[in-house]
Structure 1
Amino acid sequence: MTDGILDYCLGKKGAVKEFPFGPEAAVIKVADKMFALLFEGNGENSRLNLKCDPMIAENLREQHEAVIPGYHMNKKHWNTVKLDGSLPNEDIYAMIDHSYDLIVQKLPKRIQETLSE
């Protein structure tokens, strides 16, 4: 399950994968800014941290049991998605898109331009 999620993240323009916290936590960045943190777990213990607009974050947590405040992150701006199979990949991909877009919007214009080419 996590391979498809990782591939989707890495398919984003300028996305790179690093392992600064050890081999079980893949940090996915764009222009040196993290937009996703994928924890590989056994079976259904895998989870994905994603940046999120605070209002949307609260709504997602209310709507989905698999979405909780960001594990080891600023809980106002980050969600953790439990990759337990309860959410369709399309929903997870939409959350990844949102996280990536939030990060890209904060980048300098010259870097944004290289990502939109």
Structure 2
Amino acid sequence: MDDRWIDAYCLSKKGVERDYKEEWEATRYMIRGKIFAMVGGDKNGRPIITVKLAPETGAQLRDEYADIIPGYHMNKVHWNSLYLEGDVPESVLKGMLDQAHSIVLNAMSRKVQKEIMGAED
């Protein structure tokens, strides 16, 4: 998979900020400091993206794709890692990123959600 689009895709979502966590050697995508996706490498240096998903969605995707595994160095129930050199279609990863962003955004207060989404009272 050509993964050059991931950065722009994540940053195009409402309220997203990015940083680089040097000790993890990973780029993190967050909403108000809450991570929804992280791009880095596994212990062998293979590029991965780790994404927050609903447990049932993550389990289904892991069953369907060998290149999606329980979250690397993360909670194995809510986080899933995808090997970027694998055979998972770009459209599947986009869906994962969409869900991850929604999960984190929806966990925030309605006030914060409105601020982020630009809704007016």
Normalising to structure 1: TM-score of the pair? 0.89
Aligned alpha-carbon RMSD (Å): 1.8
**Structure 2 equivalent of residue 74 of structure 1:** 75
Contact 1:2 1:40 in 2 (8 A): no
Task: Measure the CA separation in 1 of the matches of 2:79 and 2:47.
Answer: 16
Which residue matches 2:27?
Answer: 26
Tell me which residue corresponds to 2:93.
Answer: 92
Give the secondary structure class of the aligned counterpart of 2:76.
Answer: coil
> Do 1:48 and 1:83's aligned partners in 2 also have CA atoms closer than 8 Å?
yes
After TM superposition, the structure 1 stretch with the greater mean CA deviation from structure 2, 65-74 or 32-41, is 32-41
Alpha-carbon offset, residue 3 of structure 1: 2.2
Q: Is the 8 A contact 2:15 2:117 kept in 1?
A: no
| Bigger fraction of residues in helix | 1
Aligned-pair identity (%) = 29
Query: How far apart are residue 40 of structure 1 and its match?
Result: 5.5
Gaps of 5+ in 2: none
CA offset at residue 27 of structure 1? 0.7
Larger radius of gyration: 2
Which consecutive segments of 4 or more residues in structure 1 shift more than 2 A?
20-24
Superposed CA deviations along residues 17-69 of structure 1, whole A, max 9, x for unmatched, are 1112348310110111000010158xx92110000111111111000111100
Question: Taking structure 1 as reference, are residues 75 and 54 closer, same or farther at Cα in structure 2, changes over 3 Å only?
Answer: same
State how far apart, in whole Å, the 1-side matches of 2:24 and 2:51 are. Answer: 19
Aligned residues: 115
